[in-house]
Amino acid sequence: MRRFFLIAVPFVWLLVLFLVPFLIVLKISLSDAALARPPYTPHFEWAEGIWAFFSQLDFENFVFLTSDSLYWKAYLSSLQIAVISTFLTLLIGYPIAYGMARAPEEWRPTLMMLVILPFWTSFLIRVYAWMGILSKEGLLNQFLLWSGIINEPLVILNTNTAVYIGIVYTYLPFMILPIYAALDRMDGSLIEAAEDLGCSRLTAFWLVTVPLSRNGIIAGCFLVFIPAMGEFVIPSLLGGSRTLMIGKVLWEEFFSNRDWPVASAVAVVLLLILIVPIMLFQRNQQKQAEAEQ
């Protein structure tokens, strides 16, 4: 009985807060747009029966997604931005995590605190702060002009560059923490053993440190890639009109066009795309847990 309750709690939680909303979105994606409130049809009527209700649903909206190049271009562009920013985050996050793991013991809690500290402020405020830094009259341009490095202010805000900066900045802690956890667990004598057996510092890093932090790297990459793929706030605030991301398209379909069925279809396809990396991530976590037993 106790076991049943232990399993039932997360099960009900997922059912109510994930599966049911997903089924609602799926149902909307199979409906037609309508000038009504809510803006789609059909609605379920007890009088007409379940079969009549299902017969009105169709895949029209999914077919529509393939007919307009906007959608697949937005998916591809999101994929590109997510992949590149994941790579950049790894490039910046790994050395930080490495430095933290090699720092003196008494410094580590402080460094960890500094990585987590940004979460104490609202994400939205931090993105707005970046607008202030990156704009034409922003802090960055003022500083570069003042120091004489450039003569003309750089246009960064409302470009893809600003989106990359925003994503890398926002998701950096998600990359650092799993890699740090992996490096912190590593026995320092392994590096000495590698050097003792003829490795230079660099080959020891490549042959021992990197493979042993592999699970951390994979976890970090997924933790950045998955949310970056559907990111909507950063491209709409920092990106320009030419920044194409599926999250932004989704928002516009919902709120500007009020075309809920198409927007839902976009969301369902996005979820299908993300299921593959999410499952890979789960498998990685599971393998890691097994290896530690």
Partner 1 sequence: MAATEFAPWEDPQAKPLICFRNVTKRFGEFTAIDNVSLDIYAQEFFALLGPSGCGKTTMMRMLAGFENVTEGIIELDGADVGDVPPNKRAVNMMFQSYALFPHLTVWENIAFGLRRAKIPADDLTNRVEEMLKLTRLERFASRKPHQISGGQRQRVALARSLAKAPKLLLLDEPLGALDKKLRQETQFELMDIQEKTGTTFVIVTHDQEEAMTVASRVAVMDEGNLMQVATPDRIYETPNSVYVADFIGDVNLFKGTAKPVGEDQYQINWVESLPPLNATSSLPLNDGQSCHLAIRPEKVAINAEKPDDAVNAVQGKVVDIAYLGNLSTYYVELPDGTVIKAQTANTRRISRRSFTWEDPVWLSWTATAGVLLDS
Q: For partner 1, give the closer residue by CB, 126 or 214.
A: 214
Question: What is the DSSP track for 72-122?
Answer: HHHHHHHHHHHHHHHHHHHHHHHHHHHHHHHS-GGGHHHHHHHHHGGGGS-
Going by C-alpha positions, the residue among 245, 273, 278, 90 that lies closest to residue 168 is 90
Q: For partner 1, give the closer residue by CB, 111 or 199.
A: 199
> Which amino acid, one-letter code, is at 221?
C
Q: Which of 131, 145, 208, 273 binds partner 1 (CB under 8 A)?
A: 208
- How close are the terminal C-alpha atoms of the chain, in Å? 28
Q: For partner 1, give the closer residue by CB, 43 or 201.
A: 201
Q: Which of 26, 144, 199, 278 binds partner 1 (CB under 8 A)?
A: 199
68 binds partner 1 per the rule CB under 8 A: no
Cα distances (angstroms) measured from residue 273 to each of 30, 233, 276, 279? 18, 20, 6, 11
Residues 131-190 binding partner 1 (CB under 8 A) are: 187, 189-190
Which residues pair with residue 33 across a beta bridge? 40
Q: Identify the three-state secondary structure at position 257.
A: coil
Q: Which of 211, 282, 286, 289 binds partner 1 (CB under 8 A)?
A: 211
Q: Which of 32, 60, 184, 195 binds partner 1 (CB under 8 A)?
A: 195
Min dist CB 197 to partner 1, Å, is 3
Q: For partner 1, give the closer residue by CB, 183 or 269.
A: 183
Min dist CB 202 to partner 1, Å, is 11
> Which residues lie closer than 8 Å to 271 by C-beta, 6 or more apart?
22
Min dist CB 201 to partner 1, Å, is 9
User: Which residue has tokens 């309508």?
Assistant: 34
Q: Which of 125, 149, 197, 272 binds partner 1 (CB under 8 A)?
A: 197
Q: For partner 1, give the closer residue by CB, 121 or 200.
A: 200
Cβ pair 251, 172 in contact under 8 A: no
* Region from 72-80, 140-148, 193-201, 216-224 binding partner 1, contact rule CB under 8 A: 193-201
Going by C-alpha positions, the residue among 231, 224, 229, 239 that lies closest to residue 75 is 229
The site for partner 1 (CB under 8 A) is made up of: 187, 189-190, 192-200, 203, 207-208, 211-212, 214, 291
